[in-house]
Amino acid sequence: MNAYLHIWKNTFSKAEEQLTKKLLPLEIVWRNVMLFVYLHAAAVYGLYLLVFHAQLYTVIWTYVLCIVSGMGITAGAHRLWAHKTYRAHVGLRFFLMLANTIAFQNDIYEWSRDHRVHHKYSETNADPHNAKRGFFFCHMGWLLTRKHPDVLSKGRSVDMSDLLADPVIRFQKAFYLPLVLLMCFLVPMFVPKFLWNESLEISFFVCSLARYCFILHTTWLVNSAAHLWGDHPYDRSINPAENQMVSICTLGEGQHNYHHTFPWDYAASEWGWKTNITTIFIDIWAKLGIAYELKKVPREIIEKRRKFKGDGSTPWYDEASAPEHLRWRSASIVSSVARDFNRLLFIHRTAQVHLNEVRNMPLFGRDSKKKKDSDKVPSVDDKYTLKEVLGTGAFSQVVLAESKEAKGTLRAIKCIDKKALKGKEDSLENEIKVLHRLKHSNIVQLVETYEEKTKVYLVMELVTGGELFDRIVEKGSYTEKDASDLIRQVLEAVDYMHEQGVVHRDLKPENLLYYSPDEDSKIMISDFGLSKMEDSGIMATACGTPGYVAPEVLAQKPYGKAVDVWSIGVISYILLCGYPPFYDENDANLFAQILKGEFEFDSPYWDEISESAKDFIRHLMCVDADKRYSCKQAISGNTASDKNIHSSVSEQLRKNFAKTKWRQAYNATAIIRKMRLLAMNSTSCSMDQPPEKQLTENASISQSSRDGATGDSSSSSKNS
């Protein structure tokens, strides 16, 4: 647990640093200023030569160079290497490397490193081209000034080992300057001279300098215009936007709100090829088998994200979702303007409909005056006598209550402050829907809910048996079979959840409670703050608790119900030996272990454990989710011996999972809440930093969101 606490403290300190630092005065690098002045003066002269003196072949050659070098940035450095959205044969990788060299915007290694930092720390001091400094700075001013210290420090923290493992990247990095001289300046200049006898002056100023300057500015539009102007149909909480003009100029990189929401999508947009030449390029190579493993976000996930996080606007490239009379057509300028006006009117009306739906929601929404006058909704005080406070969270209290109708019936009521909950309503709505759907003897039940003007009350089943590990330590005898019985109960409950289309996504020991103090008490699953009703079985949001999260979540792949089985495997491992299968003080190393599935059955702690139990754990913690046991398979394969392992297990539990350590770890979540505003700009599930680093941040965000909706889990679980 020290490792987890270390991760959370580390993450908080970084976030606090970002939150408190002010923008430092810019220090101009005059050498760069002079170079850019010369470059732009030469580019203007080159544009004059292009229009009035260049041969047609030279114009075509310049256009081809622009497209090829642009692909080196968009299909190469951006989508292939920075985001790993697809894989490519070495021949295609080498071509994209050369194309990227023609563009001359730093080698792919440095470009990808800065881009990953940009996504992880978007629009903070650590962002190389922070859009909050204004258009000129994020467009080109960032190249004329010294980098902010945060840019340098965060850049050094990014894991780039995946790129260094590519021999093509190593080759470019080793010979970058001679490659740039050859590919960016000499080849573009001498091809027109020797093939159609163009003058060297025109070749140099048009094909080399003017073309190079043009590519720089089109690329910079993604940093500037796409972060400042446009709609936000996928995530209204971030600045990157959908910008049609940027998409046209940058070969398809203008769907920037989508890209920052789903950065692992190879198309960088929701809809196919429209103004997205880079996607056409990748698809062609994919059909030839040279590009493969193209990652695409499932449509249902996109629709849900648009519904709950978008600003209500319709992406300008979305024909399918608009009525027939509003769809895009090839027409005259007049009809095109009319079409755009109609689309804006359609978007406005749609937004009004959604706004009215939100206002009329039964929970958090305002009831109509007619409804208020017709009948009064009973309050929690009408049915329960509230007694002492059992626990306190950031935005809620857990109170012991006795039913007035059935004397002696005790409940745990979570009292949530609606004012503090503002902006997190969806999280609580989701948890309530999940709990209403689940009715199982091993799941803590939601009895009923109440809403008042300032508070929401969740009346929960009272659980008094204490936490799982505390009871094991207190036992006089504890065998492998006891652990097996505990896991069987958890598996049966989770199997039921999966049949109901619910994935818990945060199974861990402190969410497993004993129903009563009785020796034969059943085990109960609690805390559904991160659970998801997903009948399709496909999810993409990175969330969970470090140490228990499945490798496919860390790898930012779409995942399903198998993530719960992995977590049960980790819990099973701990129940049999008393320490976690994955441990490291360094978060990157910890997540690397999980991604590889590296765990051992160490002697002497596992010497007394049966081979069938070890094999059972191997099947639960299989890195390949398709080969991992389902809950039903795990239930049938759960066998155990009667050997007493209490001494070794309890000793390790005391050492590794002392109650005070759990409390410290959970108290850390209260601090992490301060990160939410900052972290939202980089999450999005964002995957521009290494997956192991992003998961720590996303897990913190998810935990923060959950606590904001339901109160501190530690307090609630402990006392309910």
Residues with catalytic function: 506
Would you say 694 and 681 are in contact if contact means Cβ atoms under 8 Å apart? no
Kind plus residue range of the DSSP H or E element containing 99: helix 90-103
Would you say 266 and 86 are in contact if contact means Cβ atoms under 8 Å apart? yes
3-state secondary structure of 579: coil
Cα 263 to Cα 84, 230, 582: the distances in Å are 9, 18, 28
3-state secondary structure of 12: helix
Strands 512-514 and 502-503: unpaired
Strands 455-461 and 410-417: antiparallel
The Cα–Cα gap between 217 and 512 comes to 56
Cα 420 to Cα 163, 171, 379: the distances in Å are 44, 54, 20
Sole residue written with tokens 């994955």: 582
Dihedral over Cα of 55, 56, 59, 60: its sign: negative
* 372 known member of a binding site: no
Q: Which amino acid is at 535?
A: D
503 DSSP β-pair partners:
532
Would you say 104 and 180 are in contact if contact means Cβ atoms under 8 Å apart? yes
Would you say 713 and 706 are in contact if contact means Cβ atoms under 8 Å apart? yes
Would you say 571 and 487 are in contact if contact means Cβ atoms under 8 Å apart? yes
Please give the structure tokens belonging to residue 127: 């962002």
Kind plus residue range of the DSSP H or E element containing 448: strand 446-451
Would you say 67 and 251 are in contact if contact means Cβ atoms under 8 Å apart? yes
The DSSP 8-state label assigned to residue 315 in this structure reads P
ω into 581 cis (within 30 of 0): no
Q: Which residues of 530-558 are buried (b: 16+ CB within 10 A; e: fewer)?
A: bbeebeeeebbbbbbbbbbbbbbbbbbbb
Would you say 492 and 427 are in contact if contact means Cβ atoms under 8 Å apart? no
The DSSP 8-state label assigned to residue 132 in this structure reads G
The Cα–Cα gap between 450 and 285 comes to 57
Strands 87-88 and 523-525: unpaired
Q: Which amino acid is at 312?
A: G
Select from 87, 35, 88 the least CA-distant residue to 209.
35
Annotated binding site: 414
Annotated binding site for ATP: 414
